[in-house]
Chains A and B, each alone.
Chain A
Amino acid sequence: EPEVTQTPSHQVTQMGQEVILRCVPISNHLYFYWYRQILGQKVEFLVSFYNNEISEKSEIFDDQFSVERPDGSNFTLKIRSTKLEDSAMYFCASQQGTEAFFGQGTRLTVV
């Protein structure tokens, strides 16, 4: 069964450092998302991406965040200068039609 894969599974970084979270969506899907889940809280939408551009972003997705699909397969989330409050699980999802398929997540810990 096709699946969304994310790397790394866990990333520890120092405050102020840049991180790149990577995702390989399902190959024939056209819509891609990043969500995050702070420990014990709900899954929150960050950004959606279609046709090589952002189609919607939330208030959380400020200038420190960017997304890219550099090579037609990978889909990346970059946080330019991490803050303590960026510590969370980050989920990538891809979608074709209604159902969204989620990756297993990257746990980002900012210290």
Chain B
Amino acid sequence: GENVEQHPSTLSVQEGDSAVIKCTYSDSASNYFPWYKQELGKGPQLIIDIRSNVGEKKDQRIAVTLNKTAKHFSLHITETQPEDSAVYFCAANRDLLGNEKLTFGTGTRLTIIP
């Protein structure tokens, strides 16, 4: 089955700087890669996703890049703000039009230092 590795496990960044979180996956059939943000006491919330037919996707301060050949994808957050502090999870699945479980990475605790 799919295995997703995520690095780093913790990341501290000065407010205004950029943060990068990286994930690798093992199943070459995976083609959907979402990123979730989990705030304290809440469930994971989707913040951005990418499919294998594109190499990069951007939404305001958040971007995701995908290298399907190397089987890795990354989350980039620019101009970080205190409210970006949370745990971030990458995930992967085969995106078979629904009913496909997600395999999650181990999570990155991001702390933005004011």
Residues of A within 8 A of B (CB): 4, 6, 30-31, 33, 35, 41-45, 48, 50, 55-56, 91, 93, 95-105
Contact = CB atoms under 8 A, between A and B. Distances in A.
A43 B42 CA distance: 13
A56 B28 CA distance: 20
Interface residues of B, number: 23
Residue from the set B32, B34, B99, B105 with the largest chain A CB neighbour count within 10 Å: B99
Contact of B43 (A41, A50, A103): A103
B101 A56 contact: yes
Given A43-B44, A104-B43, A33 B101 contact: yes
Main secondary structure on chain B at its contact with chain A?
Answer: loop
Contacts of A50: 99
Specify the main secondary structure of chain A where it touches its partner: strand
Contacts of B14: none
A105 B98 CA distance: 22
A102 B44 contact: yes
Interface in B26-40: 32, 34, 36
A31 B101 CA distance: 10
A34 to B, nearest CB: 10
Interface in B78-105: 89, 91, 95, 97-99, 101-105
